[in-house]
Amino acid sequence: MPHEPLAFFNGRLVPLKEANVNIATHAFNYGTGVFEGLRAYWNPAQRELYLVQPGPHYERLWRSSRVLHIDIPYRVEELIEWTVELLRANRFEEDVYIRPLAYKADMAIKVGLSGIKSAFAMYAVPMGDYVSTRGIRVQVSSWRRIADNMIPSRAKVTGAYVNAALSSEQAKMDGYDEAILLTDGGQVAEASSSNLFMVRRGVLVTPPVTEDILEGITRDLVMEVARDHDIPVVERPIDRTELYSADELFLCGTGVQLAAVVEVDRRPVGAGEAGPITRTLQDAYMALVRGEAPRYRRYVVPVYGRQ
């Protein structure tokens, strides 16, 4: 960026380098925060930046905040307006990742949630592909996915992402790109920070929301697009060994987008490359997020209002 990046902090736009919290802040000490991850995609032909599904993301942020008794001082519509304002102020003309956070902001040595004030902040940074979308190698991790009655898996709690960090780091140290986590009962849950889809005999299969997964917004969108392409979709438990016999696998999420999995535990998936259903959904998704799919224009917000 040719100018100093800005963040939303304490109710206004400030230089990112000034958007700081004290080391005694409760969320820093105890992981008592929730967050979201949004993307905005630059369309160079249209000279437009498209913010993808901000409403569902901020509705989920509100749901996450209720779990931790965090008060967000803005309605969903106001959060969307501030996000657009932040992107405009930073004058982005490239793909961007946006990180809103709501957290316990008091400087307090106290294990608890009540009586501790809340705060909201947000920043945005340029981001291309988080991982390769054309083919990654994954490992079934020895770390298990956190169960919902331990740390709520359907809420994006900051402290819970130690689970993701441990499994992802293990996979990378073992020579893989990403990790797949199982539930405490041994069923497939999701990747370290993304949902998982499997194709078997032309059917798209994904674990249900009761399998300790994050209720993914991109996951919901993928299922809708798949049905629009007459691809059957089933939500059901998945056994570990089904990953080894799958015709196709891919991960999905705001960060990873749609990333084809070509190997699991040193076993090739299908032909060892992105399969036809994966490629179809990838192409449809990228057209959607760049504002090139009229059928799905309701899911994107033009930041500069040129379209």
Q: Where are the beta strands (DSSP E) in 160-286?
A: 178-182, 188-191, 195-200, 203-206, 233-235, 248-253, 257-264, 267-268
Q: Which two tokens stand for residue 138?
A: 């994954």
**Rounded CA separation 196/194 (Å):** 7
Give burial (CB, 10 Å; 0-12/13-18/19+) of 77.
Answer: exposed
| Active-site hit among 17, 117, 156, 172 | 156
**Rounded CA separation 108/160 (Å):** 20
Contact between 31 and 158 under an 8 Å Cβ cutoff? The reply is: yes
Give burial (CB, 10 Å; 0-12/13-18/19+) of 305.
Answer: exposed
Q: 204 forms bridges with which residues in the sheet? A: 199, 233
Contact between 238 and 190 under an 8 Å Cβ cutoff? The reply is: no
**Rounded CA separation 304/172 (Å):** 39
Dihedral sign (CA 75, 80, 81, 86):
positive
Q: What are phi and psi of 244, to 5 degrees?
A: -75, -25
What's at 60, amino acid-wise?
R
Q: Is 156 a catalytic site residue?
A: yes
What's at 252, amino acid-wise?
C
**Rounded CA separation 140/167 (Å):** 9
Give catalytic residues, as residue numbers: 156
